[in-house]
Amino acid sequence: MTKNVNGGMTVAIDGPAAAGKGTVAKAVAAHFGFAHLDTGLLYRAVAAKTLKGMDAEEAAQTLAPVDLEDPSLRNPDVAQEASKVAVIPAVRAALVRFQRSFAARAGGAVLDGRDIGTVICPDAPVKLFITASPEVRAQRRFAELSGKGIEITYETVLDDVKQRDMRDMSRDQAPLKPADDAKQIDTTEMAIEDAVAAAVALVEAKLADRG
Ligand code: CDP
């Protein structure tokens, strides 16, 4: 069911918070002309609604494209709440169909998240698991948030990253972990451009294999 039956390429990118998944996913999608879905945004959008008082399951079931455009979704309080709603099985279940149909696009698709290679697209021909030390990830996220004018300390960002990783790795359903056949890329001491180049090479090799 998760095979890209139309011959398009599905690229699954997973990894812990702020590891550079989004940057790599966007660059790979742009390089090959594939569509890109940041699946974290789905959980963040559910979280933004629960923070306003809506029931999490209802929020997931009624999610609309416009909900993904709210700029506050990138805020740290929404990220924390996202990792809390993400442990609820009914929330995850409500988001599966949309993610799988996106992955099956004929023109190719890149999805980044926590469970893409393990649960959403176990048959994806290319799977990447992108990691970096918590300190390096927190530095990058701190720079990103500060650049947007969000007032936050490095220590708060580091705490957020560690807490979410712990919650994401220890939940019962779809915990954060590399798929057995995922290629792991540690970007702690690697420029993000090199991670992008490695990802592009992997997709190119797979496309060449297919002829
Ligand atoms: O950008 P960052 O890596 O910090 O987070 P995100 O990808 O936007 O994800 C926010 C939260 O949503 C994560 O901490 C996870 O709890 C949850 N999530 C998930 O459970 N499964 C996914 N496929 C994507 C995100």
The model carries a pTM of 0.95
Q: Which domains does the chain have, with CATH numbers?
A: 10-203 (3.40.50.300)
> Distance between CA atoms of 86 and 83, rounded to whole angstroms?
5
Q: Which of 94, 105, 106, 103 is nearest to 64 (CA)?
A: 94
Q: Which of 164, 165, 173, 176 to mutate to test the pocket of ligand 1 (most atoms within 8 A of CB)?
A: 164
- From the CB of residue 205, how many other CB atoms can be counted at a distance below 10 Å? 10
Ligand 1 atom with the shortest distance to the CA of 83: 16
Place of tokens 């990830």: 137
The answer to whether 88 touches 56, Cβ cutoff 8 Å, is yes
List pLDDT tens digits, range 20-62.
999 999 999 999 999 999 999 999 999 999 999 999 999 999 9
Give pLDDT tens digits for 91-112. Answer: 999 999 999 999 999 999 999 9
Residue that is written with structure tokens 């559910």 in the block: 46
Distance 209 CA to ligand 1 centre (A): 32
